[in-house]
């Protein structure tokens, strides 16, 4: 019998989205409730609650869970959880026991309702130091935490929105129940998730193919939430990945899908969170490469490998820890530090940031860096950006005359 990994901390998924007539009744009720505005990060968290991606959580964390997660990477009851999932507000008048409507700041849409079980103040620097290992506001995750509201509010939520993800992304957007059904249909019991916020270059392709050698299939799982400036939009990324799958992978070995979270850029802790919610999506493994979920030089290149050995997560989903990968001219192909005996001069090191830099500066991309079909899509995207910028400059100059 096919056995897919169970959800984290529970025997079944716990989607918190209500359905049918309940949605209309909840929307109607929300018109009478105090509104709490949520950020993009919190919006993505609400949608993950709705689809069961954050099983076994029932809502935003209270102070005891927040502190335990920061200090111990567990909820107060001992269930493993590596990053706080919280909602903040500056509203002085909100009271415990009050029911509120959660509204996304960018669309003014009510996305959930919540009965507040606790209103509390946190030490934001504690969260930053524990989760991100820094309080430097140049770190995008730190900047978000330090700018959030004075109070955190906790409580069980009822999600009434899909966030517009199915409409915007179509079949690319899949819920945990949908990916699990897909794996069952394909007969995949071992599935490796490949986390990405970038289009896939040759190194990424190599990592995915290593996983396919030892698992039934790979799910290339792209974040569809907000990214930092300079990152490539999900629509372009998806098109490039589809081209790669079509031309360079065996049929029925890869699923491309997306999920609604923003990146937190929390390095090792986020690698753990990525493994946790991939278990909810039905994945038995998470591919963990160099500098997983990192940003800048805040984390060592393999800190996200080491953290899986340093703590007992209780997760069934395990890491596939793969060393630094690159193109080696002497090997005549992709290789890694574990398999290539040659010198640095023979190696072409690949990274998403380097590829973005080359494309944005219209510099030549080495032929072994990215597949030509992928490169063409990305070059067209960057050419479009430059054309748009040129038109804006011309229009600005014309209006000034």
Can you list the alpha helix ranges (DSSP code H) found in 189-267?
202-214, 234-248
Which of 232, 239, 322, 304 lies closest to 265, judged by CA?
A: 304
Is 197 known to be catalytic? yes
For the chain, give the number of residues.
Answer: 401
Q: To 10 degrees, the CA torsion angle through 194, 197, 200, 201? A: -120
| 119, two tokens | 């209103």
Spot the catalytic one: 62, 152, 198, 280.
198
Q: Give 154's strand partners.
A: 118
What's phi and psi for 147, nearest 5 deg?
-95, -5
Please report which helix (H) or strand (E) contains residue 25, including its range. Answer: helix 21-30
Half-sphere exposure of 347 (CA within 13 A, CB side): 17
Rounded Cα distance, 42 and 261, in Å: 9
Rounded Cα distance, 22 and 385, in Å: 44
Rg (CA), the chain: 22
Q: Are 322 and 308 in contact (CB under 8 A)?
A: no
Question: What Cα–Cα distance (Å) separates residue 289 from each residue in 194, 276, 286, 293, 322?
Answer: 9, 17, 10, 10, 5
Spot the catalytic one: 197, 202, 290, 371.
197
Rounded Cα distance, 74 and 91, in Å: 29
Active site residues: 197-198
């Amino acid at each position: 019998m096919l056995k897919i990994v169970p959800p984290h901390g529970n025997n079944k998924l716990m989607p918190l989205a209500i359905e049918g007539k309940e949605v209309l009744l909840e929307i109607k009720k929300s018109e009478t409730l105090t509104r709490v505005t949520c950020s993009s990060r919190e919006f993505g968290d609400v949608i993950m609650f709705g689809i069961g991606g954050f099983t076994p959580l029932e809502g935003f964390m209270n102070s005891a869970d927040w502190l335990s997660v920061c200090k111990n990477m567990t909820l107060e009851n001992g269930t493993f959880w590596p990053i706080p999932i919280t909602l903040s507000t500056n509203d002085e008048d909100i009271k415990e026991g009050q029911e509120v409507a959660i509204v996304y700041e960018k669309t003014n849409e009510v996305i959930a309702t919540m009965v507040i079980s606790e209103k509390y103040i946190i030490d934001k620097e504690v969260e930053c130091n524990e989760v991100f290992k820094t309080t430097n506001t140049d770190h995008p995750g730190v900047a978000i935490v330090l700018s959030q509201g004075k109070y955190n509010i906790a409580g069980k939520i009822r999600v009434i929105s899909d966030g517009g993800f199915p409409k915007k992304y179509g079949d690319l957007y899949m819920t945990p129940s949908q990916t699990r059904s897909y794996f069952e249909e394909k007969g995949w019991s071992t599935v490796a998730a490949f986390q990405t916020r970038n289009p896939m270059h040759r190194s990424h392709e190599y990592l995915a193919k290593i996983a396919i050698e030892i698992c039934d299939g790979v799910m290339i799982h792209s974040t569809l939430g907000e990214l930092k400036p300079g990152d490539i939009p999900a629509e372009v990324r998806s098109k490039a990945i589809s081209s790669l799958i079509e031309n360079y992978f065996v049929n029925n070995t890869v699923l491309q899908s997306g999920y609604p979270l923003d990146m937190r850029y929390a390095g090792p802790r986020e690698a753990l969170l990525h493994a946790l919610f991939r278990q909810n999506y039905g994945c038995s493994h998470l591919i963990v490469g160099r500098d997983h979920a990192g940003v800048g030089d805040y984390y060592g290149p393999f800190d996200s490998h080491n953290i899986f050995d340093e703590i007992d997560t209780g997760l069934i989903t395990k890491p596939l820890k793969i060393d630094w990968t690159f193109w080696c001219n002497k090997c005549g192909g992709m290789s890694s530090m574990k398999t290539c005996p040659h010198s640095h001069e023979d190696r072409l090191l690949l990274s998403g940031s380097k590829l973005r830099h080359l494309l944005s500066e219209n510099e030549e991309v080495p032929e072994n860096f990215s597949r030509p079909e992928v490169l063409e899509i990305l070059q067209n995207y960057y050419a479009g950006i430059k054309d748009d910028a040129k038109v804006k400059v011309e229009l600005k100059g014309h209006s000034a005359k």
